[in-house]
Amino acid sequence: MKNRYKFLALASFILIFSSCDNIFEPLNENLIEETYATTDPASAEGMMLNAYANVVGQYTFTDAATDDAVHNQLTNGYRRMATGELTAIYNPLNRWNLYSNVFYVNKFLTVVDKIVWMTDPKGYSIQNELYKKRLRGEALALRALHHAYILENFAGKDASGNLMGIPYYTEFVEPTGDFNLPRLTLDSTVKSIQKDYEAAIKLLPYIYSNNAADIPLKDKALAYAGTNWKNDSTAYLASLPYKGTNWKKDSAYYMTNYNAAYTIVNSTKFNLRLNGKIVRALQARLKLFASSKAFLNSVDGYKEAANYATEVLKGYTIAADGVEFYNADADNVNPEFLWRKNVSLSSTQEANNFPPTLQGKGNINPTQNLVDAFPMKDGYPVGLSPTNVYSAQTPYLNRDPRLDKYIVRNGGTIGATVINTTATDIKNGVNAVPEQSTRTGYYLKKLLRPDVIIPTSGNPTTKNHFEALIRYTELFLILAEAQNEIGGPLYKEGTSTLSAKDIIRLIRKRALSITVDPYLDGITSQDAMRTLIQNERRLELCFEGFRFFDLRRWNLPLNEPVKGLYDNGIGGGYQLIDVEERAFNEEKHRYLPLPYNEIRKYSKLTQNKGW
């Protein structure tokens, strides 16, 4: 019987499955025969678009399993994970599912060259060959990216103390085929991901552009180095990626139209697709992760991360609107975005996270631990400023402006609405309404649109949301961390023009609106700069899905007790409260368990130590 494949052409559906051997079981909708998938462009491309649909975005809120936040729903998976229920059988952060995207991409790679994607007016294959080239590059990059997501989740030490990665699938496996691959070592897994990324770089445009001037030299029709190309069109055309059969008959037409075809295939209408610049950023992210203290702890790896980040940041100035990059329709062209998802017109996140008086469920509650990480407005940590004296009874006075932009505290605002979290507020107060009110005294503000209105009855107003996949601020922080680990606060790797200290100065100047930064000026050691970089990364990237993995790769404590702040509203002042005890074991939970069902089924898989 012919295989049939479920697919979608719009990147909005998330496939959920429990093991590799049921990825291609037929469903009752969206079914196509294999012969059709290899002839119809939209159907074939739909295989790859599944991988785009499942790219991990910002709204994962894994922060609820860290010292940055708690969740107010008893059944929430991250809350259950953090309080002791994490096992090889129950893991809410089970990215093993993402292998489905790997297999979709691998299947797409078997058909991409069989499809006629485009034809030009004379029936030649210029655009078609260029389109195949780009799509193949996208597919290879997606295969690498989804392996990288899985690696981030499951990299760890086995029972013998070896640093292990994950199985790496480079071929499509039929439903009856052999999925029983062993885990590669961590280093070998990283090299496999890098191999796919490098192959993708050779095929993808560095950026999408409608301007022929932006075509890379290696891809330009004028790139041929010979001086007599008019007399040697055979050699000239052989030097180009085009492999059509009719160029000898009409080489002039080909040479005249190649650059135009290139800009059609790689135009700005594909800006939300992977390109070479995005792949370089993903390589920087991968290398920073793998080189961290809990893993390879590699200076050479940090150098690679720094060089990739430097390449991406070349000619880029830190975005003035990089702090609140999510709160207005105009953010669709915010220079803070290197890669983002498509526009989502919705009110879902606001409904989930607004305080109860705004008809929200108040799900994500920032912690006092995170609030304490925001410095005073002059950049000094809480309690250390010589001019901005901190008081426990006026805890929000003279603080980092990011605090009120990212977190709703007592007396803070969402839009023009003041939110009070004192005990006298019967909706917004601490634990006022079980599983709806805050548990910590704080509500989430970051990533939410303040202009969304959720009425008590009827339909809410929806607003555009632009979910970031890679922000330039992350690249600056990668470069700062990597360079500091190599040579300290003032070190510059390769062609970088900014040291770690320079980068943190830029980020803090933007956030705090300060022209001088005496606290930063006083930092001279690698250890002190590491602490500051980690704190700035915590603040700048909070609630974007980084903290859970950062704590683990940095070898930082996982069991910090979660605190909140309570005000009885009748003059008692603020009191620190215990909110949630974390049940993470420092060694065992640093490396997450592979799914029990996969270990049980596949004899070549080994489990991380302790599971």
- Of 17, 14, 26, give the one whose Cα is nearest residue 597: 17
Asked whether 138 and 199 are in contact (CB, 8 A), the reply is: no
- Write the CB contacts of 164 (distance below 8 Å, at least 6 apart in sequence): 155, 156, 157, 158, 183, 184, 185, 186, 606, 608
Sequence-distant (6+) residues with CB within 8 A of 309 are: 281, 284, 475, 476, 478, 479, 482
**445/143 Cα distance (integer angstroms):** 34
Torsion sign over Cα 79, 82, 85, 86: positive
Of the candidates 132, 121, 135, which has an alpha carbon nearest to the alpha carbon of residue 254?
Answer: 121
Instruction: State residue 223's pLDDT score.
Output: 41
CA distance 200 to 48: 14
Residue located via tokens 């700069």 = 529
pLDDT of residue 19: 32
- For residue 211, give every residue at least 6 positions away whose Cβ sits within 8 Å of its Cβ, in sequence order, or none: 263
Tokens matching residue 579: 């909110």
- How many angstroms separate the Cα of 536 from the Cα of each of 65, 99, 144? 20, 33, 28
Q: Which amino acid is at 342?
A: N
pLDDT tens for 113-158 read 999 898 776 666 778 888 999 999 999 999 999 999 999 999 999 9
Tokens matching residue 77: 């998976």
CA distance 171 to 71: 40
Query: Kindly report the CA angle at 52 between 47 and 56, in degrees rounded to 5?
Result: 140
Rounded Cα distance, 40 and 106, in Å? 17
pTM of the predicted protein model: 0.92
CA–CA dist 490, 493 (Å, integer): 10
Q: Whose CA is closest to 65, among 84, 51, 47?
A: 84
Sort 57 into a burial class: Cβ within 10 Å, 0-12 / 13-18 / 19+. Answer: middle
Say if residue 411's pLDDT is above 80: yes
Q: What is the CA radius of gyration of the chain?
A: 26
- Span 150-206, pLDDT tens digits: 999 999 999 999 999 999 999 999 888 999 999 999 999 999 999 999 999 999 999
- pLDDT tens by residue, 331-390: 999 999 999 999 999 999 999 999 999 999 999 999 999 999 999 999 999 999 999 999
Confidence at residue 221, expressed as pLDDT on a 0 to 100 scale? 59
What value does the mean pLDDT take over residues 503-520? 98
Name which of 127-141, 226-240, 484-498 the model is least confident about: 226-240
pLDDT in the model for residue 17: 29
Burial class (CB in 10 A: 0-12, 13-18, 19+), 253: middle
Q: Is 256 exposed, middle or buried (0-12, 13-18, 19+ CB in 10 A)?
A: exposed
Measured in whole angstroms, the distance separating CA 375 from the mean position of its chain's CA atoms is 26
